[in-house]
């Protein structure tokens, strides 16, 4: 069995401007996470993805390209040179509020990519994970800035400019941050 996690995120400064190439600062929120667990499935059964928090249960071979979690799974397997999906049951859970701007989709995809890489015996380096998640985010969001996948995959506060490598963001003094979920959902697509 393989387990991988990924944090939620907040964009502290530059949320909308980052799409247009302006800098932004973002931080992971480790108090809320997504997890992906891979367990062996019956031989010949294929790869199944189950995400009970969002009511999803699918067989990878039957899923279309309109399903972001299937897309990111296929991308990760292809990156690893795996042409036939292993007989796995992948279970995803998340306590990150959906459609709240906290990166729930990026976190689920990041945990999933990490688990697939671990399951295939491959080290899950942050840059490679971020790249794969960005590709899947393009399917869902069209032209994302890349900040969500980057801060979630690296798991540290970053200074981010679209198209440039992220830089660690280390404030001169400790920062306390209170995050409240209003419960109001808004499409982030």
User: Considering the domain boundaries, does residue 164 fall inside one?
Assistant: yes
Q: What is the pLDDT of residues 114-160, one digit of tens each?
A: 999 999 999 989 999 999 999 988 877 778 899 999 999 999 999 99
User: Considering the domain boundaries, does residue 39 fall inside one?
Assistant: yes
Rounded distance between C-alpha atoms, residue 147 and residue 160, angstroms: 7
| pLDDT value at residue 188 | 62
What are the CA-CA distances from residue 140 to residues 12, 37, 55, 120, 170 (Å)? 23, 23, 18, 25, 31
Indicate which CATH number applies to the domain containing 94.
Answer: 3.30.230.10
User: Considering the domain boundaries, does residue 152 fall inside one?
Assistant: yes
User: Considering the domain boundaries, does residue 182 fall inside one?
Assistant: no
Q: What is the pLDDT of residues 2-59, one digit of tens each?
A: 999 999 999 999 888 898 989 999 999 999 999 999 999 999 999 999 999 889 999 9
User: Considering the domain boundaries, does residue 82 fall inside one?
Assistant: yes
Backbone angles phi, psi at 164, to 5 degrees: -120, 155
Please give the residue range of the domain that contains residue 143. 2-168
């Amino acid at each position: 069995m393989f387990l991988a996690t990924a944090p939620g995120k907040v964009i502290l400064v530059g949320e909308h401007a980052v799409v247009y190439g302006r800098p932004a600062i973002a931080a992971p929120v480790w108090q809320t996470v997504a997890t992906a667990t891979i367990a062996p499935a019956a031989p010949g059964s294929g790869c199944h993805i189950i995400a009970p928090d969002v009511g999803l249960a699918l067989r990878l071979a039957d899923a279309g390209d309109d399903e972001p979690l299937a897309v990111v799974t296929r991308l990760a397997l292809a990156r690893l040179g795996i042409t036939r999906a292993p007989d796995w049951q992948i279970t995803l859970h998340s306590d990150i509020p959906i459609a709240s701007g906290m990166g729930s989709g990026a976190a689920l995809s990041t945990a999933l990519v990490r688990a697939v890489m671990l399951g295939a015996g491959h080290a899950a380096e942050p840059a490679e994970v971020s790249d794969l998640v960005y590709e899947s985010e393009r399917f869902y969001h069209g032209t994302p800035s890349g900040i969500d996948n980057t801060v979630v995959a690296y798991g540290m506060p970053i200074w981010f400019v679209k198209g440039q490598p992220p830089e660690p963001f280390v404030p001169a003094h400790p920062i306390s941050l209170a995050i409240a979920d209003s419960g109001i959902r808004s499409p982030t697509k």
